[in-house]
Amino acid sequence: MKRRDFLKVSSPLIALPLVLGGFPVHALGRSRLLDPLWRLLATTDRVLVLIQLNGGNDGINTVIPLDQLSTYHQLRPQIALPDSTLIRITDEAALHPAMSGIQRMFADGMVAIVQGVAYPNTNLSHFRSTDIWMTASDYNQYLATGWMGRYLDTLYPNYPTGYPNSTAPDPPAVQIGAIMALALQGPLASMGLALQDPQTFYDIINGTNTSVRGDIPDTQPGHELAYLRQVELTSQQYSTSIKSAADKAQNKATYPSNNTLADQLKIVARLIAGGLQSRVYLVSLGGFDTHAAQVDTTDTTQGAHATLLGRLSDAVVAFFDDLRQLGVADRVVAMTFSEFGRRVASNASYGTDHGTAAPMFVFGTHVVPGIRGTNPSLTELDRNGNLLMQYDFRQVYSSILAQWYGADDATLRQVMLKDFQTIPIIRSSTTTSVEESPTATGSPLTISPNPAAAGQTLRLAFTIPAPGDVVVEFHDGIGRSAAQFSLGTMDAGTHQISIPVPSVAKGTLVCSLRAGNTIMHSRVIVE
């Protein structure tokens, strides 16, 4: 067996856990799943955090359709949330009452919600559907590679020889958690090498067993065993860089207790701030398979689902607060995903059964805030009584790769296997993004008066570094364009302009000013 074929039949990933904060931290080495993404990320410091909600999250009780409350209560008599408890985020949508933290982030323009995400012919098996989400395959297509990697043999034919090195010293991705994700599982067994404490780890790295040969016989099977040991040593070197990064930073925010997702994100924040060059992190929160006891029988705002959504909300809020205090928040985008949603109607066990479409959340200072898509119809269903799909999950993946990492069309086609239309989720990485700083003097884009009333004139002050065509656009809370003004070509330097307040309902608008390759943002409250 050739070495490259040996890796193919052994495992899709090489991983080795290091314990930090009570959680094994798996350094994901060069692999079929991750290498094409690593190529995209090699010249950027942007980080993507994937938050897996294991079990199939009930999207209808997560983002509640306010325009269909009567139908909502009729179809979910045992689990529907009281209207008075819902946290409104727009005129048409509300969040579960346990998600007040995410509501505050939404109001601050740090949340994008993509409605009705699924794929054609949704498979309602946890295992198969998770595999589809991991590989970005069609429902009837079985792939051995993941959506983040298709061409390892082309990109890194000699791995692990030469890795890590001076230009790629750290693993391309890191998973936090005691249980490896499906992507880490090989055809025969997991390739994870569990070390329960850093001391054991350093005993292997710095001990007497420095040779990968040892007493291995000089035979063909022995040569392959030596190669596997070489791969393991490479993964151990990646774990060295993980520990080094963890030693360079300390968390500054207060994380909630008794929250496993918060514990994982706390480690991620520490590694990012410590300078680890990994660009993808995977964390998870289980328990979303709520067939029974999804809610408390006496109070539907309480119960298993409320606990899970509260943990998600509290953990994400603490994570981004920590990133902000550590000075790295602008480098990070986080995205939730779950293998499927739940059925529209509740069952007799105060729960919900496997369904189809559900919302995805994207968090960060660079997101295009608001809601993509519309509330799912609770009456126009598929032949099995499930929600209709609005967006293919691969559209979200493609949008993240294109808008966060700047992947071109050819790369997207290789990674996603076919073309998928992107949707506005993240402000494009092809522009220079200048964020607002409302508490500092000399903000790149200032708006006055603020708050403003309909009929008033807004004064915008800004500085652009180079000549360019200037366009000002306002978006409302669900991401719709409220007004656009083309101001013509302007020279480099400081400018002041006057434009009317957009004719919209009261609320917060996001103002984007684009000048050539520079884009800056601020917010204005319309009273």
Phi, psi for 93 (deg, rounded to 5): -140, 150
Q: Is the peptide bond prior to 164 cis by the omega test (within 30 degrees of 0)?
A: yes
Burial of 298 (0-12, 13-18, 19+ CB in 10 A): exposed
CATH: 3.30.70.20, 2.60.40.1930, 3.40.50.970, 3.90.420.10. Which one for 432-526? 2.60.40.1930
- Spatial contact of 35 and 171, defined as CB atoms under 8 Å apart: no
β 332-337/432-434 pair status:
unpaired
- Spatial contact of 116 and 354, defined as CB atoms under 8 Å apart: no
Q: What is the DSSP string of 84-119?
A: GG-EESSSSEEE-TT-HHHHHHHHTT-EEEEEEEE-
Q: What six digits make up the tokens of 270?
A: 């520490």
Sort residue 467 into left (φ over 0), alpha (ψ -120 to 50) or beta: beta
- Spatial contact of 404 and 46, defined as CB atoms under 8 Å apart: yes
Nearest to 25 by CA among 203, 212, 209, 170: 170
Q: Is the peptide bond prior to 451 cis by the omega test (within 30 degrees of 0)?
A: yes
β 280-285/47-53 pair status:
parallel
Q: What residue ranges of the chain have pLDDT lower than 70?
A: 1-22, 24-44, 148-168, 177-239, 428-443, 476-480, 505-506, 517
DSSP 8-class letter at 504: -
Domain limits of the chain?
Answer: 3-416, 432-526
pLDDT at residue number 454: 78
Interaxial angle between packed helices 409-416 and 393-405, expressed in degrees from 0 to 180 and rounded to the nearest 10: 140
pLDDT at residue number 255: 97
23-62 burial string, b = 16+ CB within 10 Å, else e? bbbbbbbbbbbbbbbbbbbeeeebbbbbbbbbbbbbbbbb
pLDDT at residue number 215: 55
pLDDT at residue number 476: 64
Rounded CA separation 174/191 (Å): 14
- Domain 3-416 architecture: 3-Layer(aba) Sandwich (3.40)
Nearest to 54 by CA among 310, 311, 337: 337
End-to-end CA distance of the chain: 71
- Spatial contact of 281 and 173, defined as CB atoms under 8 Å apart: yes
Rounded CA separation 11/232 (Å): 12
